[in-house]
């Protein structure tokens, strides 16, 4: 019988969750897992979370032991969830007293832990939802301890920070009225999460799940006993990649409004690639691609992109832009370009082609 291929494991840790992996070591994990599975195991331990997320996209490891945002990325790229070490945690964007909305943080000072920490990931998502980017702030300070952000606000050294709900509630007891909640992230699976490749043999997946639930301590980590719904991870992944919920100066529309607008003379613009347009598009849509090279970020540099085709449209005619859904930034950027160019009426179909197909499939079934 041929020998099994070596099982590869990436354990990604960050300083803000250091207590989760304080005794976790490469040697202990390799020995304990190798004994449980009866085969060779290669473990890599890293604190480079940016590289860890990159590895999920290339399916670089058989198993990931990592914070929730990395597990979320792996679930979108061919992995299945085993579970997490802790229950869900709530994270809040906290601003100094007097601020009433995330958008009011423009030109403000933000205190966060390390640049690729879960706190920073969530901060980026909550800012995006509020129509802001890190580039819209006057300063983003990265330090070691998450809870120190609240102290920084109290000392007027920062205008905002991201903290866990428990830390906020404790701090509030002796600092009432000093700060306020600007935004709340959906429940985030706590501690370290474990994911495995979906194409792993079922027996091995079962062995791994059992080991992480009952014997993880032998490898230097806590038991994986929590099983949050995968939708929690999906929402977390979306927070870091989705477009803002609105475009200033444009009107958000749904599938049920498209036909009426077109019937009244609006122009419907498909900003995707030519291949996508030819494969399928909304009836009556004209093809006008947005060639995107800039970052998928509210603070993107439009000068890097090519949307010269906008000049072929009549700025006095109501115009609707769409692309491949909420995670596609082309129609968001197109809508912003049209608003900036002085178009009289701009509509943004944020949910785009996926939603159109879904709505029409549902209508056909009815």
pLDDT tens over the chain, length 366 residues: 344 569 999 999 886 665 555 567 889 999 999 999 999 999 999 988 888 988 998 898 999 999 999 999 999 899 999 999 999 999 999 999 999 999 999 999 999 987 778 999 999 999 999 999 999 999 999 887 788 999 999 999 999 999 999 999 999 999 999 999 999 998 999 999 999 999 999 999 999 999 999 999 998 889 999 999 999 999 898 887 889 999 999 999 999 999 999 999 999 999 999 999 999 999 999 999 999 999 899 999 999 999 999 999 999 999 999 999 998 999 999 999 999 999 999 999 999 999 999 988 766 665
For 277, the enclosing helix (H) or strand (E) is helix 274-279
Distance CA 71, CA 257 (A): 37
Task: State the Cα–Cα distance between residues 70 and 240, nearest whole angstrom.
Answer: 11
**Token pair of 163, please?**
């903290």
Second CATH level (architecture) for the domain 251-365: 3-Layer(aba) Sandwich (3.40)
pLDDT computed for residue 364 by the predictor: 62
Residue 143: the pLDDT is 82
E strand or H helix that includes residue 293:
none
pTM over 0.75: yes
Indicate if 251-365 has the same CATH topology as 7-85+190-241. Answer: no
> 3-state class of 83 per DSSP?
strand
Assess contact for 240 and 69: CB atoms under 8 A: yes
Q: Residue ranges per domain, the chain?
A: 7-85+190-241, 89-187, 251-365
Contact in structure between 268 and 347 (CB atoms under 8 Å): no
Check residue 22 and give its pLDDT: 52
Euclidean distance between CA atoms 341 and 333, whole angstroms? 12
Does the domain made of 89-187 have the CATH classification 3.40.190.10? yes
What is the spatial distance between Cα 166 and Cα 335, in angstroms, rounded to a whole number? 40
CB 91 within 8 A of CB 162: yes
Residue from 95, 106, 98 nearest 161 by CA: 95
| DSSP secondary structure letters along 20-53 | GGSS--HHHHHHHHHHHHTS-EEEEEE--HHHHH
pLDDT at 2: 41
Strand partners, 111: 141, 161
Q: Which residues pair with 9 in a beta bridge?
A: 43, 63
Q: Which residues lie below 8 Å from residue 132, measured CB to CB, with a gap of 6+?
A: 102, 103, 105, 106, 298
The predicted structure's pLDDT at residue 278 = 96
* Residue 29, burial from CB neighbour count under 10 angstroms (0-12, 13-18, 19+): buried
196/317 Cα distance (integer angstroms): 51
Question: Is 7-85+190-241 a CATH 3.30.2230.10 domain?
Answer: no
Mention every residue, 6+ apart, whose C-beta is less than 8 A from residue 208: 33, 37, 63, 82, 194, 196, 200
């Amino acid at each position: 019988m041929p020998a099994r291929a070596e099982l590869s494991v990436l354990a990604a840790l960050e300083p803000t969750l250091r207590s989760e992996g304080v005794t976790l070591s490469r040697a202990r994990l390799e020995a304990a897992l190798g004994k449980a599975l009866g085969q060779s195991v290669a473990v890599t331990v890293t604190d480079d979370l940016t590289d860890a997320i990159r590895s999920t996209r290339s399916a670089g490891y058989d198993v990931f032991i990592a914070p929730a945002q990395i597990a979320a990325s792996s679930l979108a790229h061919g992995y299945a969830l085993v579970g997490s070490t802790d229950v869900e945690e709530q994270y809040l964007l906290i601003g100094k007293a007097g601020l009433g909305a995330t958008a009011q943080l423009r030109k403000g000072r933000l205190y966060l832990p390390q640049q690729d920490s879960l706190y920073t990931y969530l901060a980026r998502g909550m800012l995006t939802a509020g129509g802001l980017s890190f580039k819209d702030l006057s300063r983003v300070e990265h330090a070691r301890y998450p809870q120190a952000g609240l102290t920084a606000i109290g000392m007027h050294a920062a205008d905002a920070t991201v903290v866990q709900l428990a830390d906020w509630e404790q701090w509030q007891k002796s600092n009432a009225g000093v700060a306020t909640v600007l935004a709340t992230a959906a429940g985030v699976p706590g501690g370290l999460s474990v994911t495995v490749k979906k194409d792993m043999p079922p027996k091995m997946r079962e062995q791994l799940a059992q080991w992480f639930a009952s014997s993880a301590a032998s490898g230097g980590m806590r038991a994986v006993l929590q099983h949050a719904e995968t939708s929690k991870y999906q929402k977390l992944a979306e927070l870091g990649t989705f477009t803002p919920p609105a475009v200033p100066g444009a009107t958000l529309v749904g599938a049920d409004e498209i036909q009426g607008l077109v019937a009244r003379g609006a122009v419907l613009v498909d900003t995707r690639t030519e291949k996508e347009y030819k494969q399928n598009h909304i009836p009556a849509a004209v093809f006008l691609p947005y060639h995107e090279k800039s970052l998928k970020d509210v603070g993107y540099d439009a000068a890097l992109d090519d949307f010269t085709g906008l000049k072929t449209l009549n700025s006095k005619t109501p115009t609707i832009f769409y692309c491949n859904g909420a995670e596609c930034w082309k129609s968001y950027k197109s809508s912003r370009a049209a608003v900036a160019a002085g178009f009289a009426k701009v509509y943004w179909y944020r949910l785009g082609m996926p939603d159109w197909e879904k709505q029409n499939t549902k209508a056909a079934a009815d």
